[in-house]
């Protein structure tokens, strides 16, 4: 018995307590809601049985019903466009800016800091601002594009089915740009300078240095930025109610907003839960890919 308590104080038991506490915390705050959510997607949930755990079992009928919704494939397609579009934009522009501000010139650090303004702004505020910028008749973006001679007539970003999803993507890229740039800047700063000096002495040009030193050394940072980007993009909610409400006719609706809409606007909690479980499976798949790709990473 004494041995047991000793082990709790300074042995293996102590480690187990630490791990156990963390696991308990995870289980209670992340695990239980998740299980509840999965459970709910297999039950017949009613607005008035929301507080109960035991409800009639529904099998896969909720899943079948979600797939049978006329907007299901449209929402799936939009979600893919939204995720790929937002992540590409945020990453490419973020990386370009990070490389730019990694150059030594006066005020580089200060200006880079100013970019964070976009990141600290709440999504709803960003949505309201972009809502004005993207307005069809009197929007700033249209008048700029017209001034540059790129377009002849106004684009109705929020109301035209072929542009509505891009309206949200543009706003989301702007919102996530600073975060990407910041993480990538940190990764850039961690690469030892002498590598570049040695390469330069060997006659490598800028493009070769980027391709053979920067990119490989940034591998883990890029992996982290992309996986965080995926999660952040799937989580994005505020911009949708502020810009398009998923319209017109669901052409800018994505899984995350749809799930909220089903649960809290249409009070169809079972379908809302079902959509979020589907999203969860997607993220799980993406995280497995990410973990596998970084497993054999060599750290410099």
Spatial distance between the Cα atoms of 127 and 133, rounded to a whole number of angstroms = 10
Q: Is the peptide bond before 132 cis (omega within 30 degrees of 0)?
A: no
Spatial distance between the Cα atoms of 82 and 240, rounded to a whole number of angstroms = 11
With beta carbons less than 8 A apart as the criterion, state whether 212 and 127 touch: no
Specify the stretch interacting with other proteins by CB under 8 A; choose among 97-105, 114-122, 209-217, 257-265.
Answer: 257-265
Spatial distance between the Cα atoms of 280 and 283, rounded to a whole number of angstroms = 5
Specify the stretch interacting with other proteins by CB under 8 A; choose among 109-117, 209-217, 228-236, 239-247.
Answer: 239-247
CB of 46 to other proteins, least distance (A): 9
CB of 250 to other proteins, least distance (A): 6
Spatial distance between the Cα atoms of 297 and 300, rounded to a whole number of angstroms = 10
Residue 26: how many other CB atoms lie within 10 Å = 11
Q: Which of 7, 76, 159, 293 binds other proteins (CB under 8 A)?
A: 159
Q: Which is nearer to other proteins, 236 or 244 (CB)?
A: 244
Q: Which of 146, 247, 283, 293 binds other proteins (CB under 8 A)?
A: 247
State yes or no: residue 158 binds other proteins (CB under 8 A).
yes
State yes or no: residue 293 binds other proteins (CB under 8 A).
no
Q: How many residues bind other proteins (CB under 8 A)?
A: 33
State yes or no: residue 237 binds other proteins (CB under 8 A).
no
What Cα–Cα distance (Å) separates residue 288 from each residue in 2, 13, 79, 218, 256?
43, 31, 20, 20, 21
- Residues in contact with other proteins by CB under 8 A are 47-52, 70-71, 135-138, 156, 158-161, 164, 243-251, 261, 264-268
């Amino acid at each position: 018995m004494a041995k047991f308590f000793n082990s709790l104080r300074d042995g293996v038991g102590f480690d187990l307590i630490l791990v156990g506490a963390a696991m308990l915390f995870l289980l209670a705050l992340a695990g239980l809601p998740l299980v509840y959510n999965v459970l709910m997607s297999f039950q017949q949930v009613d607005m008035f049985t929301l507080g109960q755990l035991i409800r009639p079992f529904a099998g896969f009928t909720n899943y079948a019903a979600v797939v049978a919704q006329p907007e299901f494939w449209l929402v799936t397609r939009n979600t893919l466009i939204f995720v790929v579009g937002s992540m590409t934009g945020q990453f490419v522009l973020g990386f370009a800016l990070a490389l730019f501000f990694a150059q030594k010139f006066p005020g580089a650090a200060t200006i880079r800091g100013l970019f964070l303004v976009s990141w600290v702004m709440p999504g709803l505020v960003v949505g309201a601002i972009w809502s004005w910028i993207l307005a069809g008749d009197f929007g700033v973006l249209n008048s700029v594009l017209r001034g540059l001679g790129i377009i002849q007539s106004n684009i109705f970003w929020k109301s035209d089915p072929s542009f509505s999803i891009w309206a949200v993507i543009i706003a989301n890229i702007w919102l996530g740009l600073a975060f990407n740039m910041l993480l990538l800047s940190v990764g850039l700063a961690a690469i030892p300078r002498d590598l570049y000096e040695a390469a330069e002495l060997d006659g490598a040009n800028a493009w070769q240095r980027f391709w053979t030193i920067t990119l490989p050394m940034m591998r883990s940072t890029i992996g982290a930025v992309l996986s965080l980007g995926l999660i952040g993009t799937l989580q994005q909610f505020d911009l949708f109610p502020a810009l398009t409400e998923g319209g017109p006719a669901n052409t800018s609706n994505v899984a995350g907003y749809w799930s909220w809409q089903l649960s809290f606007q249409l009070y169809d909690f079972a379908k809302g839960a079902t959509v979020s479980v589907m999203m969860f499976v997607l993220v799980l798949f993406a995280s497995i890919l990410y973990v596998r790709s970084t497993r054999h990473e060599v750290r410099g």
